[in-house]
Amino acid sequence: MQLLRTYPYRRWQAYPFAPYGERSVALGYAKALRHARRLVYVEDQYLWSAEVAETFAEALVRQPDLHMIAVVPRYPDQPGRMADAAEAVGRGRALAALRHAGGERFAVYAPENPAGTPVYVHAKVCIIDDAWLSVGSDNFNLRSWTHDSELTAAVVDESGGELPVRLRLDLLREHLDRAPGEDGDLRDLETAFAAVARSADELEKWYADDRSGPRPPGRLRRYEPPTVPDWARTAASVLYRRFYDPDGRPPALRRRRAF
């Protein structure tokens, strides 16, 4: 187990134990993703920032057999016209980078309950190849990787992946309305990606058919970020960068787009 932290760089009143800040959260993910080969599974409250997404996108480009599943909330935690637009700008850029890198190997979903009410995601979970997992306070955005104070536990399971596998299967069974033990197609990482996609497609077809007949099992629907109108994009971009996803890196790292 490794504890990863984020502390911002402060020009004035710097942390005495981290005068240039600390970004071991970002560096830990970057290192783990360099070893990713088959499946990256993410649940996150935000998943925005193109620079954070680039860390995952580089892994998708580097490994042509790598797949990625992301589960995010359909609606933001601070509703409002400009808040919605700012969050949509950040998430739209991140998802565009991931889709460009992974194509059909990248899929993003939003959960809902059996009544069709969207379920808010507050998780911060990442599981890579059923061998590495992280759980903590950090989100997948620039704020959490550079600006706020965050703490995350990263685990490499040397027992054969029992802990990462168990967590991933628990989450997927819940999302797909599966009972304990109904996970034969979820244990293999490639067939798990296909099983989630198939469940979401069946649910979308049920909605497209005007919800005719029994609702199919499963609670994940494919996600698309809302479109930001041209008149709001400039202001939303400024709000996003300055207030919603600020950058806490030293100037030299900002210029290099490095952590």
> Tens digits of per-residue pLDDT, 122-138?
999 999 999 999 999 99
- In tens, the pLDDT along 190-246 reads 999 999 999 999 999 999 999 999 999 999 999 999 899 888 899 999 999 999 999
Mean pLDDT score of the chain: 95
Residue 255 included in any domain: no
What contacts 57, CB < 8 A, 6 or more positions away? 97, 98, 100, 101, 102
> In total, how many domains does the chain have?
1
Quickly state the pLDDT bin for 66 (edges 50, 70, 90): very high
Q: For the domain that residue 27 is a member of, what is the CATH number?
A: 3.30.870.10
Grade residue 81 by pLDDT with cuts at 50, 70 and 90: confident
Q: Collect all residues with Cβ–Cβ distance below 8 Å to 95 and sequence separation of at least 6.
A: 47, 53, 108, 225
pLDDT tens-digit series, residues 2-28: 999 999 999 999 999 999 999 999 999
| pLDDT above 90 for 83 | no
Does residue 90 lie within any of the structural domains?
yes
Q: What does the buried/exposed string (b/e) look like for 50-69 if buried means 16 or more CB atoms within 10 Å of the residue's CB?
A: bbbbbbbbebbeebeebbbb
In a domain, 257, yes or no: no
In a domain, 166, yes or no: yes
Domain around 163: 21-246
Closest Cα to residue 156, out of 36, 13, 17?
Answer: 36
Q: Indicate the burial class of 224 (C-beta count within 10 angstroms; 0-12, 13-18, 19 or more).
A: exposed
